[in-house]
């Protein structure tokens, strides 16, 4: 869990950070499945549909939910970043006792704007069916759940970068001093790990997204390319989400963090 990673500096290893990322895959996929229970429901995103809110219903849900979460300390975790543009109330809890693991530069890296844009502009239309069933409140809170899980996964790149740096500062320091983005990107990229991630999330989407039947052989042959495939979210969209957005943006967070690591 995030708070654990941030509290046990000595125990932070690449293996543990990767284990945390693997657990987060489950959360992301389940949240996509939840959102896919509803059609697109575009009035939730329209600033004019509900004059009682100053923006869209979605923006209202995001702002109010995050305000509550902020009061109970959610954003004290470095990898939890709010989406609301407005300032949020402070945490009512005492500050965390553990010494921070991350370089303070982490606090200046926030790519939630990019995450918001790809989620609504590109990803959502791929997995939410067209249509409107009027369930705008559920739709908006499911969107926020998806955004938060994806954002946490991507900003977990802080820990990945920190642990990679600590494991071999001699490799990273010259590229950091030269502010060499490309060099850093090469150093922190593991193509074999990325291939495994893509295959694993596709498989998880097949397993988690099946209709469970009590009748034997009811959904025996599962063919991912079959038109009438039974998955709740297309597994190929999940692997594409990782390939096109989650992994490149996690690496962007890592590069941005490393560029500032010696400041």
Binding site for ligand ISJ (CB under 6 A): 18, 160, 188-190, 193-194, 197, 247, 250-251
- The Cα 1–Cα 110 span in angstroms is 20
Give me the least distance between CB of 120 and ligand ISJ, in Å please: 22
- The Cα 236–Cα 242 span in angstroms is 10
DSSP codes of every residue in 211-243: PP-SSTTTT----TT-TT---SS-HHHHHHIII
- The Cα 157–Cα 171 span in angstroms is 18
Nearer to ligand ISJ, 188 or 258 (CB): 188
Nearer to ligand ISJ, 28 or 160 (CB): 160
Give me the least distance between CB of 224 and ligand ISJ, in Å please: 22
With CA atoms as reference, report the closest residue to 161 among 238, 62, 262, 231: 262
Give me the least distance between CB of 180 and ligand ISJ, in Å please: 17
Give me the least distance between CB of 62 and ligand ISJ, in Å please: 25
- The Cα 136–Cα 126 span in angstroms is 19
Give me the least distance between CB of 222 and ligand ISJ, in Å please: 26
Nearer to ligand ISJ, 71 or 260 (CB): 260
Contact 260, 157 (CB under 8 A): no
Nearer to ligand ISJ, 61 or 241 (CB): 241
Nearer to ligand ISJ, 168 or 219 (CB): 168
- The Cα 32–Cα 66 span in angstroms is 20
Contact 210, 222 (CB under 8 A): yes
Give me the least distance between CB of 161 and ligand ISJ, in Å please: 8
Nearer to ligand ISJ, 58 or 259 (CB): 259
């Amino acid at each position: 869990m995030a708070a654990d990673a941030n509290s046990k500096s000595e125990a932070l290893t690449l293996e543990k950070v990767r284990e945390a990322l693997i657990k987060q895959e489950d959360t992301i996929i389940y949240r996509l499945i939840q959102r896919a229970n509803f059609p697109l429901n575009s009035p939730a995103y329209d600033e004019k549909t509900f004059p009682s809110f100053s923006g869209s219903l979605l923006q209202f849900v995001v702002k109010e939910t995050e305000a509550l979460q902020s009061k109970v300390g959610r954003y004290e975790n470095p990898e939890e970043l709010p989406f609301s543009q407005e300032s949020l109330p402070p945490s009512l809890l005492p500050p965390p006792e553990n010494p921070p693991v991350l370089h303070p530069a982490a606090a200046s890296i926030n790519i939630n704007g990019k995450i918001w844009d790809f989620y609504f502009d590109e990803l959502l239309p791929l997995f939410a069916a067209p249509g409107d069933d009027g369930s705008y409140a559920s739709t908006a809170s499911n969107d926020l759940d998806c955004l938060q899980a994806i954002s946490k996964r991507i900003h977990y790149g802080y820990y990945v970068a920190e642990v990679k740096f600590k494991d071999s500062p001699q490799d990273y320091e010259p590229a950091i001093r030269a502010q060499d983005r490309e060099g850093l990107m090469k150093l922190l990229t593991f193509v074999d790990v990325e291939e495994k991630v893509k295959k694993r999330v596709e498989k998880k989407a097949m397993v988690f997204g099946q209709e469970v039947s009590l009748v034997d052989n009811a959904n025996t042959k599962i063919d991912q390319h079959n038109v009438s495939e039974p998955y709740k979210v297309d597994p190929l969209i999940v692997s594409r989400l990782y390939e096109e957005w989650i992994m490149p943006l996690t690496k962007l967070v890592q590069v941005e963090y490393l560029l500032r690591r010696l400041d």
